[in-house]
Chain A
Amino acid sequence: MADGSGVTIGSGQPVAAPRRVGSLRKLSRRRSATAILLCVPLIAIIFGLKLYPTLYGIYLSMLNRKMTEFVGLDNFTFLLGRNTFQMVLFQSCMFAVSAVIFKAVLGFILAHLMHNIRGRYERVWRGLLLVPWVIPLSLSTLSWWWLLDPSYSAFNWTLEWLGFEKISFLGEAWNARFVVILVNTWFGAPFFMIMYLAALKSVPDQLYEAASIDGANAWQKLIYVTLPMMRNIIAITMLYSLIVTFADFDIVRILTNGGPQDTTHLFATYAFTIGIQSGNIPRGAAVSLFMLPILATFAFFILRGVNRRTKEIN
């Protein structure tokens, strides 16, 4: 567990003899000195490349465009008043929530199907289903783009071949919004599948046997045995994925670059457009900082869940 509550070497020794207390204390002091030394690189990374940039980002977001003057919360209020940013806010939340729900449902179904076949060629099936998750996202998004290309898209060719009308996948707001969610679901569902499959396998068979004897049908077993047993892992996976999905950049950047008319921009891509491409670094920093309170809320719930789970286990 990531709670650092591991056992400590040497700390369990009873104080042997009063004479040796001094040397024991010295030993334990040396131990904690070594322990801190081993953690120094980790601490340096967390402080230097995570905490410091975060604080610096907060400072940056309160400067004017040329970074010469302190303007307080002006960047934030300006953004909140802009239509485009309100759309970004809406789209980011909708994207993250719906993509995570789709991924969780799809992952749950896939895990059950994998569980049903009980190990027959499991490695092969699992390997095939994991392919979307293994290919670097930016590269597979390129192939999605080509699949959805307006002029010669393979999907549109198939639609026409089946006698339907062509669809402008990336040219219309709601189509494009749906497509970015679809690609994210495609990429992330395999992760949910392996987490849920592991959780499913850990549910003891006796519980199902007992439920069968009590006359439960498959649906009742799912509701009253499987779901309660998997509750924790479902919650933790979904919350973790919410954070990652919220911060998503690759898909939107490559597939639509925010278009059409900024309707698919997420915090990350909008911050990139404003901060790096248009060179308004403070305002870009302000855009991405809007993620922080939202992510903090998620993290609070994850941490609470993890702690509770750890207590249940111990």
Chain B
Amino acid sequence: MSATTADQARARARNKSGSLRRQHQWALWGSYTALSAFVIMFLTPPFYMLMTSLKTSAEISAEKGNPWIVQSPTINNFVELITSPSFQRYFFNSAWVTTLVVIISMSIAILAAFSLSRMGFKGSQAIATGVFLTYLVPPSLLFIPLFQIVGWLNLLDNTWVLVLLFPTLAVPFCTWIMIGYFGSIPKELDEAALIDGASYMQILFQIFIPVALPGIIAATIFAFTVGWGAFLYPLAFLYKGEQLVLTVGIVSELIRGDVFAWGKIMAACVIGALPPILIYTFLMDYYIAGLTAGATKG
């Protein structure tokens, strides 16, 4: 199509711009309305979580009145949880497990991604495919054989088992993100460094890591999400109170028999959801950029 035809068409469109703009306004308001409806739907469970966490047990068990709104707000549930030694224990366990998992997963992923994306050796293609194929065996397929293996290693009912196993959930995807970011660094950059006599490690630490920092942030957030929120492995391999992490601790310790301290459970959920929400609030853009790096190319 020639440029002049397009220009004429645009000029013609401009004549109609009054009605077009009105049409556009309608579309805009329609979108806002629909989005608001979806936001309300999506936020119903977290909202109810927050409301319940502010209720007293008496208010919950009275089963009277509008359950959506708290009638006599209290922060007792939070105070009780924060001062409870077992809850502190779960939170602390989750925190150190997640920290270690992030460090281990990122170290493995960065080194492997550097090697796979830049140093290419015989079989690197096969390894890259193998990383992808690990999605074939999700944790729900592995937990039973792992139960036996963990038993041999004497790690059953020991929080350290998560430090061993969580990287298997995080590393494949982190490596995948890092390969993408490293691959986008122009190779002239490291060739120049190589000519100047830099070693591979210098290239990695002084060029690749600083340049690919957004990708590293994205992959770190992913590893954090896995370490903080995973449920199946801790449920299958941990039993004793002092070894539990937050997700399993809340589900199995706060729910005893038929007695549900819903106010306290919901308060615990709010506390557990807070760290991820805080991290996503500040670093969401990096994460989304890392996640959708492939989508924008297609």
A and B: bona fide binding partners: yes
- Check B209 for interface membership: any CB of A closer than 8 A: no
- Check A49 for interface membership: any CB of B closer than 8 A: yes
Instruction: With A4-B124, A8-B118, A295-B136 as known contacts, state yes or no: A210 contacts B1, CB within 8 Å.
Output: yes
Contacts of B296 in A (CB 8 A): 198-199, 201-202
Given contacts A4-B116, A8-B120, A249-B231, could you give 13 more A-B pairs where the C-beta distance is less than 8 Å?
A: A1-B183, A2-B175, A3-B125, A4-B127, A4-B179, A38-B115, A53-B137, A113-B38, A127-B284, A194-B288, A195-B291, A253-B235, A303-B129
Contacts of A32 in B (CB 8 A): 119, 121-122
Q: Give the shortest distance, in Å, between A21 (CB) and chain B (any CB).
A: 18
Question: What are 5 pairs between A and B in contact, CB < 8 Å?
Answer: A10-B191, A116-B27, A147-B44, A202-B295, A202-B297
Residue of B nearest to A67 (CB): B148
Which residues of chain B in 193-219 are interfacial with respect to chain A, using CB atoms and an 8 Å cutoff?
A: 194, 200, 203
Contact of A129 among B10, B31, B38, B60 (CB under 8 A): B38
**0/1 string, A226-260, CB within 8 A of B gives 1:** 00001011001100100110111110011000000
On whether the beta carbons of B144 and A288 are closer than 8 Å, the reply is yes
Contacts of B35 in A (CB 8 A): 110, 113-114, 117, 125, 129
- Check B241 for interface membership: any CB of A closer than 8 A: no
On whether the beta carbons of A142 and B265 are closer than 8 Å, the reply is yes
- Check A42 for interface membership: any CB of B closer than 8 A: yes
Taking residues whose C-beta sits less than 8 angstroms from the other chain, chain B's interface range is 35 or more
Q: How far is the CA of A288 from the CA of B60 in the complex (A)?
A: 39
Contact of B277 among A39, A134, A199 (CB under 8 A): A134
Q: Give the shortest distance, in Å, between B113 (CB) and chain A (any CB).
A: 9
Q: How far is the CA of A62 from the CA of B229 in the complex (A)?
A: 33
On whether the beta carbons of B6 and A209 are closer than 8 Å, the reply is yes
Contact of B140 among A38, A113, A249, A309 (CB under 8 A): A249
Interface of B is mostly: helix
On whether the beta carbons of A138 and B127 are closer than 8 Å, the reply is no
- Check B134 for interface membership: any CB of A closer than 8 A: yes
**0/1 string, B255-279, CB within 8 A of A gives 1:** 0000000100110010011001100
On whether the beta carbons of B273 and A135 are closer than 8 Å, the reply is yes
On whether the beta carbons of A130 and B284 are closer than 8 Å, the reply is yes
On whether the beta carbons of A131 and B134 are closer than 8 Å, the reply is no
On whether the beta carbons of A137 and B229 are closer than 8 Å, the reply is yes
On whether the beta carbons of A1 and B294 are closer than 8 Å, the reply is yes
Contacts of A137 in B (CB 8 A): 229, 231
Contacts of A80 in B (CB 8 A): none
Q: How far is the CA of A45 from the CA of B5 in the complex (A)?
A: 59
**0/1 string, B173-196, CB within 8 A of A gives 1:** 001100110110001001100100
- Check B82 for interface membership: any CB of A closer than 8 A: no
On whether the beta carbons of B145 and A39 are closer than 8 Å, the reply is no
Chain B contacts to A: CB under 8 angstroms: 1, 5-6, 9-10, 13, 27-28, 30-32, 34-35, 38-39, 41-46, 48-49, 52, 60, 63, 66-68, 107-109, 111-112, 114-122, 124-125, 127-149, 164-165, 167-168, 171, 175-176, 179-180, 182-183, 187, 190-191, 194, 200, 203, 228-229, 231-232, 235-236, 247-248, 250-251, 262, 265-266, 269, 272-273, 276-277, 280-281, 284-285, 288, 291-292, 294-298
On whether the beta carbons of B111 and A38 are closer than 8 Å, the reply is yes
Q: Give the shortest distance, in Å, between A81 (CB) and chain B (any CB).
A: 21
On whether the beta carbons of A9 and B34 are closer than 8 Å, the reply is no
Q: How far is the CA of A110 from the CA of B277 in the complex (A)?
A: 21
Q: How far is the CA of A201 from the CA of B297 in the complex (A)?
A: 11
On whether the beta carbons of B115 and A143 are closer than 8 Å, the reply is no
Contact of A46 among B119, B131, B142, B281 (CB under 8 A): B131
Contacts of A281 in B (CB 8 A): 144, 147-148
Contacts of B235 in A (CB 8 A): 253, 272
Which residues of chain A in 19-40 are interfacial with respect to chain B, using CB atoms and an 8 Å cutoff?
A: 31-32, 34-36, 38-39
On whether the beta carbons of B32 and A117 are closer than 8 Å, the reply is yes
